[in-house]
Structures are given as C-alpha cells and as structure tokens.
Amino acid sequence: MDKVLGWGILATGWIAELFTQDLIASNLKVSAVGSRSAEKARTFADRFGIAKAHASYEDLVDDPDVDIVYIATPHPQHVSAALLALEAGKHILVEKPFTLNADEAREITRKASEKNLIVLEAMWTRFLPHMKRIHEIITAGTLGDLRSLTAEHRQFLSTDPKHRLNALELGGGALLDLGIYPISFAFDILGAPSSVSSVARFKDTGVDAEVATLMQHKGGAISNTVSALDCAGPNVAVVYGTKARIEIASVWYAPTSFRVIDQQGAVIEEFTETVEGRGMQFQAFEMETLVRSGKPSARMAPEDSVAIMATLDTIRKQIGLVYPTERATT
C-alpha cells in the first residue's frame, strides 16, 4: 500500500485556509502547520484539527511527518520558503505566482532538480475537471486549428492602501495576483508566446490596477488577456478554432461549465460537473501522484512555471513595473 503522505502548510493566510479545507474534505493528511507566529499557527491548527503547530518555518520543514510543503506566503517570500523546504528534503507545492521573477523561478527548479524533489506551481485551474475535458476536445481536433483565445480576470478588491494587494513591496497589483490566471491559461492552450505587447494603468500606491496583454503563439494564434483589481467583470474565456469554439462560463478559472459551438452556432457539447469545495484538491491529487511516481507534472512542468515568469518579466518591463524587494532579473 502507498504511504499516506503528510502535508505541511507553510503560512496561515486566506489561501492556506481554502486549500486546507479542500485537503481535509478530500481525506488527505494535513500533518502540521507552520507560521512565524506561534499564536497564528496554533489558531490555524485548532481550527482545522491539525496535530502539530510550529512557531517557525524551519520547524515545519524539519518535521518528519511532513512529506509535502504547501507554500502560501506572500509572493516575495516564495523563493526563500521554497529553498528552505527543498534543503530539508521536502517536496513543494508553491502558490502562484511561482515567484516574483524568472531568476527566482530558475533558482527553485534548479535546487529541486539537484535534490531530486518534486516542485509544482499551485495553478489549481489546470487540474480542474472542465480544463481536463477542454484539452481532450482540443486534442481530438473538434476545434480544428486553434486561432485565438480571450480571457479576463477582473475583481473589485480592497482599496485600502495598506492591503497586500496595494503594496508594491509585497508584489501587489493585478498582474501577479490576477493576471497570472489568464496568462497561464494562454500558455496552457496555445504554448509560450513568440511576441508580447502590454499596456497598464496604475494606482497611487504604484501597483498595477489593470493590465492587458496581446500575445502571438505557435502558428500565429493570438491571445488577448485583461486583468484588473478595481473593477469587477464577468470573468469568462473563449478558445477559438477553425471548426468550433469553446465558451467557458463565469468564473472560467474555477469549477464551471462550458459549451462547444460550431461555426454555424450549433452547440455540439455542453459540459457541467459538480465539484466539492473550491476545487483545490485536484492540484493536491496531482502533487501526491507526482511524489509517488518521482516524475514532474506534464500539466504544469517546472520549466513551464519558469517560462511564464519570464513572460511576466517581459510584461513588467514593458509597463515599467518594478518590485523593490525582488532580486535582479536577467
């Protein structure tokens, strides 16, 4: 029988709460939680019935009952937390965006390779049932040749200038928190772009309030993405081909439905499936499969995470967005 793998939750914020809920609801083992605050670690552990609460990240990654560390810190701390866990011999699931820039992403994937450990970006959308089915449809040729993709991620979020999302030193702004979803989606469907063009507008705190990208991919296919943190939107996506298109309902990056529509407007497939919880358990299932097989993910390979961060670096250069705490990019 396969060993039951133990998860360690590194950091105790909102996203860690959501993921831990899905882990527990899916009967996966959460062995420990770690925070830089003993009080926060204990409060989190008590809330979710976790046996161990560690008052430091170092103690968490050294816990022998932890096999996989889920890293849920603010973006600038991903690289240090990831390297800490890898040095301790732990496999890691790193929240998106993977890092602040491509250099940090390369540092993590290089260390994981040296240690022969699994590293996976927590782009949970890629592992959802509707995304799995979309890939099956595309592979079957139902859409014909892919021509373009549009996707948006708009939300009306906190206007407090002290909030993490509005703090430049914490990697705040629309691009890393929201734009990562449609840009990663474009990579997933159309591959890495050969050209990128970006525009943005900014908030008074210096973070990007809205970012739009126009990218060209293999075969001339085009992707168009928009992300904003100060105006809500329908958050839909469409993939266009020469034979048909896929219209993904709101909210496209979470468990949802879609329709496949041919060029005459006829619906040739309609997908609906009920998912328990938020749907973050599917990335956990993927992670445990990878750990047991010892092989990197085919759906979200480490080199994909590096390539996406490199594209985000290009976008930031074009719009003039620099994070004061990041390491130099190449």
Which contiguous run of DSSP H or E holds residue 8? strand 6-10
Whether the CA torsion 39, 52, 86, 20 is positive or negative: it is negative
Predicted pLDDT of residue 279: 98
Name the active-site residue from 96, 111, 132, 218. 96
- C-beta separation of 192 from 307 below 8 A: yes
CATH of the structural domain 129-274, one choice from 3.30.360.10, 3.40.50.300, 3.30.200.20, 3.20.20.60: 3.30.360.10
Contacts of 1 (CB under 8 A, 6+ apart): none
Rounded to 10 degrees, the C-alpha dihedral 25/26/29/32 comes to: -40
Q: Which regions of the chain carry the CATH code 3.40.50.720?
A: 6-124
Place of tokens 């993910």: 297
Predicted pLDDT of residue 326: 77
Which contiguous run of DSSP H or E holds residue 111? helix 102-115
Strands (E), 126-257: 146-154, 195-202, 208-216, 222-228, 237-241, 244-248
Q: Which regions of the chain carry the CATH code 3.30.360.10?
A: 129-274
89 DSSP assignment: T
The pair of three-digit structure tokens given for residue 299, joined into one six-digit string: 């759906």
158 DSSP assignment: -
The pLDDT profile of the chain, 330 residues, written as one tens digit per residue, is 578 999 999 999 999 999 999 999 999 999 999 999 999 999 999 999 999 999 999 999 999 999 999 999 999 999 999 999 999 999 999 999 999 999 999 999 999 999 999 999 999 999 999 999 999 999 999 999 999 999 999 999 999 999 999 999 999 999 999 999 999 999 999 999 999 999 999 999 999 999 999 999 999 999 999 999 999 999 999 999 999 999 999 999 999 999 999 999 999 999 999 999 999 999 999 999 999 999 999 999 999 999 999 999 999 999 999 999 876 444
Burial of 238 (0-12, 13-18, 19+ CB in 10 A): middle
What is the dotted CATH code of the domain comprising 6-124?
3.40.50.720
162 part of the active site: no
Beta sheet of 146-154, edge-to-edge order: 195-202, 208-216, 222-228, 146-154, 237-241, 244-248, 258-262, 267-271
Contacts of 321 (CB under 8 A, 6+ apart): 173, 175, 200, 208, 315
Cα separation, 75 vs 130, whole angstroms: 28
* Nearest Cα residue to 121 out of 253, 297, 329: 297
The pair of three-digit structure tokens given for residue 246, joined into one six-digit string: 């896929």
Predicted pLDDT of residue 81: 98
Predicted pLDDT of residue 327: 60
Rg of the chain on CA atoms, in Å: 20
Q: Is 210 helix (H, G, I), strand (E, B) or coil?
A: strand
Q: Which residue type is seen at 130?
A: H
